[in-house]
Amino acid sequence: MALKIPRHEMPCQEPAVRAHNFDEVALGYTEEMAVEEAKRCLQCKKPTCRSGCPVEVLIPDFIKQVAEGDFLAAAVTLKEKNSLPAICGRVCPQETQCESRCILGKKGEPVAIGRLERFVADYEIKFGESHGEKPAPTGKKVAIIGGGPSGLACAGDLAKSGHGVTVFEALHVAGGVLMYGIPQFRLPKEIVQTEINNLKEMGVEIRTNEVVGKITSVDELMASGGYDAVFIGTGAGLPYFMGIPGENLLGVYSANEFLTRTNLMKGYKFPEYATPIKVGKKVAVLGAGNVAMDGARTALRLGAEEVSIVYRRSREEMPARAEEAHHAEEEGINFRLLTNPVALHGDEKGWVKSMTCLRYELGEPDASGRRSPVPIPGSEFELEVDTVVVAIGQGPNPLVTKSTPGLELNRRGNIVADPETLATSKAGVFAGGDIVTGAATVILAMGAGKKAAASINAYLNGENRSH
């Protein structure tokens, strides 16, 4: 029976319309759609979907409650494992996680777990009441450095355990990449702030405008700040450039700057908001990950006429989620694949005007298992551009690591943490998310934050799981 119901598509804004606004692209299920979709779930006795989830959400349980129309109960179930479901429902790569393990997916299409998660979380935001019950305080204090996905997830779990939690956030608002990086049209900032407000209601203190490494340090927090443990979740906040001539020309942005101006500072509402963002007519975005897709789609919405993803490998190797690439393509982004710039050129005032590119072909698989791109000799050509967004990845921001003596780093500058406990080389200091793994996904960072919270809990209870 259940198999006969097809997977429900989620309503979206039309590509031609959405390419010119910053409103959310996906509109979410209606109640009817959610119930119908939830009824597709086979309620497996041994649910494989859960093993695909980095935070092991009780997937069949919450879906059953959706099928029964008890959406608020479903939200409670969801939140048992995931304190930020409205965010995860939007930005998790479900197709490679939970949904990839769904039995229905073997013969047809998997249950739309991500869309149901999103529906339930949004329903709760709209109709739910604050639970407000605070656990008995343990008297222990934990400092969390970085208010991004890993820090927030860690904060949520620690607060649930009754510890006093303070999040130190360098920017003027918490959320990290959820606020500065992921665009409004993919993850509305109001949703992020609602989730953060929930954490505040649980008793989490968020101190914005505090750059650890400058205004205080890990050692100081533990010595005189009265914190019993520290979690470092400072992310991958150091933009990489290509290292090719012309990268300092006007019109050349790191993806971080381009997205921060637009999202965090609301440059898309300039001049009502005072931070400007400048985009020309012909935009090249270098790289093909999710950040590159966000940059390209943002450029289009800011009024660019022609936006290209420039990537030296082929479609198959693109690191972006299939859905993001698909949305970008629908909106009219060009994909200039097997192409890579070797130099940028400027006009007399220093504005970028073109890129010299090389064409590539795919050779043997490299260390990452992907076929490595090989430049074709003599294939140089000029591409006219007036804006370039460099989205080739980010490294670890060194502000905290450099100011913390005794913290072991790897040669890339990432913090070395025990894979099981996320304990670092310093007693009482834990780390997780991109600062440990290098740039990855929101949900992996959140998973790490939760894992660290469990270890910190054990550490504070004297279970000596770490040091």
Partner 1 sequence: MHLYQVVKRRQLAPAIVLFEVEAPRVAAKVKPGQFVIVRMDEKSERIPLTVMDFNRERGTITIVVQDVGYSSCMINNLQEGSSFLDFVGPLGVPSDIENYGTVVCMGGGLGIAPIYPIARALREAGNHVISILGARTADLLILREEMAAVSDEVVIVTDDGSLGTKGYHSTGLDQILAQGHKVEVIWAIGPMVMMRAVARYTKTLGIKTIVSMNPIMVDGTGMCGACRVKVGEETKFACVDGPEFDGHLVDFELAMQRLAFYKDEENRAKAHGACGQEGGH
Residue ranges that bind partner 1, judged by CB under 8 A = 170-172, 180, 208-211, 214-216, 237-239, 241, 247-248, 250, 253-254, 256-257, 260-261, 265-266, 270-276, 278, 349-350, 397-399
Pair of tokens at residue 379: 């294939």
Relative to beta strand 238-239, strand 394-395 is antiparallel
Collapsing DSSP to helix, strand or coil, 164 comes out as strand
Closest to 442 measured CA to CA, from 180, 169, 166: 180
User: Least CB distance from residue 228 to partner 1, whole Å?
Assistant: 21
Minimum CB distance to partner 1 smaller for 80 or for 220: 220
Which amino acid appears at position 51 of this protein? Answer: S
What size, in residues, is the chain? 467
User: Least CB distance from residue 213 to partner 1, whole Å?
Assistant: 9
Minimum CB distance to partner 1 smaller for 202 or for 389: 389
User: Least CB distance from residue 402 to partner 1, whole Å?
Assistant: 9
Pair of tokens at residue 377: 């000799």
- Please, what is the end-to-end C-alpha distance for the chain in angstroms? 54
Closest to 101 measured CA to CA, from 113, 89, 92, 83: 113
Minimum CB distance to partner 1 smaller for 170 or for 460: 170
User: Least CB distance from residue 287 to partner 1, whole Å?
Assistant: 15
Backbone angles phi and psi of 451, in degrees to 5 = -60, -45
Minimum CB distance to partner 1 smaller for 283 or for 460: 283
Minimum CB distance to partner 1 smaller for 269 or for 315: 269
* Cβ–Cβ under 8 Å, residues 86 and 195: yes
Dihedral of CA atoms 113, 115, 117, 122 in degrees, nearest 10, equals: -170
Minimum CB distance to partner 1 smaller for 76 or for 173: 173
Other beta carbons less than 10 A from residue 382's beta carbon? 12
Other beta carbons less than 10 A from residue 107's beta carbon? 7
User: Least CB distance from residue 67 to partner 1, whole Å?
Assistant: 42
Phi/psi zone of residue 35: left (φ > 0), alpha (ψ -120 to 50 degrees), beta?
A: alpha
Distance CA 125, CA 255 (A): 31
Minimum CB distance to partner 1 smaller for 177 or for 199: 177
Minimum CB distance to partner 1 smaller for 113 or for 171: 171
User: Least CB distance from residue 222 to partner 1, whole Å?
Assistant: 17
Minimum CB distance to partner 1 smaller for 111 or for 145: 145
User: Least CB distance from residue 264 to partner 1, whole Å?
Assistant: 8
User: Least CB distance from residue 200 to partner 1, whole Å?
Assistant: 17
User: Least CB distance from residue 403 to partner 1, whole Å?
Assistant: 11
Other beta carbons less than 10 A from residue 160's beta carbon? 18
Pair of tokens at residue 205: 């203190």
Closest to 383 measured CA to CA, from 284, 274, 260: 284
